[in-house]
Every structure is written in C-alpha cells, then in structure tokens.
C-alpha cells in the first residue's frame, strides 16, 4: 500500500489532486491510500508516514518549506512534491530534496505525470539499492549505500560510519572508502570527512549539517568547489526526481 498525503489550504486543489490520484489508481490497479490536510500544522501533527506528499508552499500558518523541515525527521524517505503559484519559491527548498514541483493552476495530466514518475522511481529504487562492503572491526560489514550519512576519519586507520541512528567503526583510509563508492551523491568537503549529499540539511558558513544532526566542517580551500558540486547535485536530483 502506497500512502499519499495532500496538504493545501485550498479545498479545490485538494479535490483536483485526489481526483487525479483516484483516476491513476483505477487505471493502473495500484493500491493508494490518500490522506488530506488543510494546513501544515495538521500534517506535522499526524503520526502517519507517507511515501509521497503533495505540499502547498504558500499556506496560512506555517508554510510548506517549514512544514517539510518539520516532517523530515520522521519521514526521511517521503518524496515531496511542492505545489505552488510561484515556481521560484520552490528553489528555496533544496535542503528537503523535493521530488518535483507542480505550478498552479495545473491540469489533471500534470499530477498523473508526477505519479508515473513516482512509480518508476520506487520501482528503480527497489531494483537498484546498492550495498557496500566495508572492513568492519569484527569482519566484513555490509551497509546500504543510501543509508550512509557520513564517514569520519578518526586516525590510526579508523573511520566512523554514520547512518541515520547508528555508528560503525571500520578500518582503512577515506581514499580507500571513496574508491569503493560508485555514487555521485558522495563528496569530501574536508580531509577527514566524506558526506552523502542526499542527507545534507543546511549549510552555515564553513559548516554543513546532515538531517540527523551530524556537524561536518568544510575546509576553507574546498568551500567554492563544494558549493559548486552541491549545486550541481541539487539540480540533477531535482531533474531526476
């Protein structure tokens, strides 16, 4: 069962999106469960987790971007589609990695296009979930690459691997780890760190923060290169959905 949330303070928009979702569900024999919310506050208060969220940016109360930041800690795997009157506002949202943008007013076909892309995305993800084998302290350690947030070199050929809620200690150097990673999502903003850009929450000066609170320094001489690399990553991420 795929769980979808539609959050908008315009009931007509909610109705239009639900209609498109139901039409797609019937045409493709897909099991969708749709929940609707008329404010960001109500979406944040929900205890449910969603696979796909259609989220209005400009709402009374907390706006869509703030709402996305508040729900990310409990719904890290949710794909967010911003629905907005002004597409340029969505560009402020890179830190929550939007799946797509829908500009109002929209036709039903636009929502169906998003649903088609989403179904392709989850199918591709299920069939291509890369695993990396590392040298754990007690033997081989297998980790899903997408679930790794950062690597930190702590000296004496010891590296701490950070996932969402766990840490692991492995042997080796960061250069050896980088040679094993076949992904454009990873970058090294500092000689002691490798970071998965999928999990970057915000940048502040010479520091970046991951969505689970890891604080990573950015070397001064690498700042411009890192900013350019992260910008390219965000543009490709949005383009690929």
| Average pLDDT value for the chain | 88
* Distances in whole angstroms, Cα of residue 226 to Cα of each of 150, 189, 212: 15, 6, 20
- The string of pLDDT tens digits covering residues 134-180 is 988 888 888 888 889 999 999 999 999 999 889 999 999 999 998 88
In 3D space, the residue among 178, 183, 185 whose CA is nearest the CA of residue 159 turns out to be: 178
- What is the pLDDT at residue 152? 97
The domain made up of 131-240 is a member of CATH 1.10.3470.10: no
Model confidence, pTM: 0.58
**Statement: residue 89 has pLDDT above 80:** no
Q: Where are the domains of the chain?
A: 2-127, 131-240
3-state percent helix, strand, coil for the chain, nearest multiple of 5: 40, 35, 25
The domain made up of 2-127 is a member of CATH 3.40.50.2300: yes
**Statement: residue 68 has pLDDT above 50:** yes
Six token digits for residue 217: 């320094």
The mean pLDDT value for 105-123 works out to 92
In 3D space, the residue among 188, 196, 195, 181 whose CA is nearest the CA of residue 223 turns out to be: 188
- The string of pLDDT tens digits covering residues 191-237 is 999 999 989 988 999 999 999 899 999 999 999 999 999 988 887 76
Q: What angle, rounded to 10 degrees, do the helices at 108-127 and 11-28 form?
A: 50
């Amino acid at each position: 069962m795929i769980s979808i949330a539609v959050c908008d303070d315009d009931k007509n928009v909610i109705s239009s999106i639900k209609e498109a979702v139901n039409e797609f569900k019937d045409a493709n024999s897909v099991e969708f469960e749709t929940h609707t919310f008329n404010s960001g506050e109500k979406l944040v208060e929900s205890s449910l987790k969603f696979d796909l969220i259609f989220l209005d940016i400009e709402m009374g109360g907390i706006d869509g971007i703030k709402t996305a930041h508040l729900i990310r800690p409990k719904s890290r795997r949710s794909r967010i589609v911003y629905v907005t009157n002004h597409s340029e506002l969505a560009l402020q949202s890179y830190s929550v990695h939007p799946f797509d943008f829908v500009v109002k007013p929209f036709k039903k076909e636009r929502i169906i296009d998003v649903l088609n892309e989403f179904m392709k995305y989850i199918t591709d993800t299920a069939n291509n979930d890369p695993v990396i084998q590392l040298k754990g302290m007690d033997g081989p350690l297998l980790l899903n690459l997408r679930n790794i947030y950062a690597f930190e070199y702590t000296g004496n050929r010891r590296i701490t691997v950070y996932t969402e809620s766990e840490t692991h200690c492995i042997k080796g150097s960061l250069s050896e780890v980088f040679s094993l990673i076949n992904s454009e999502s990873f970058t090294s903003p500092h000689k002691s760190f490798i970071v998965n850009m999928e999990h970057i929450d915000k940048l502040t000066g010479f520091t970046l923060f991951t969505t689970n609170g890891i604080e990573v320094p950015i070397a001064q001489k690498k700042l411009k290169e890192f900013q350019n690399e992260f910008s390219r990553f965000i543009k490709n991420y949005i383009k690929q959905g």
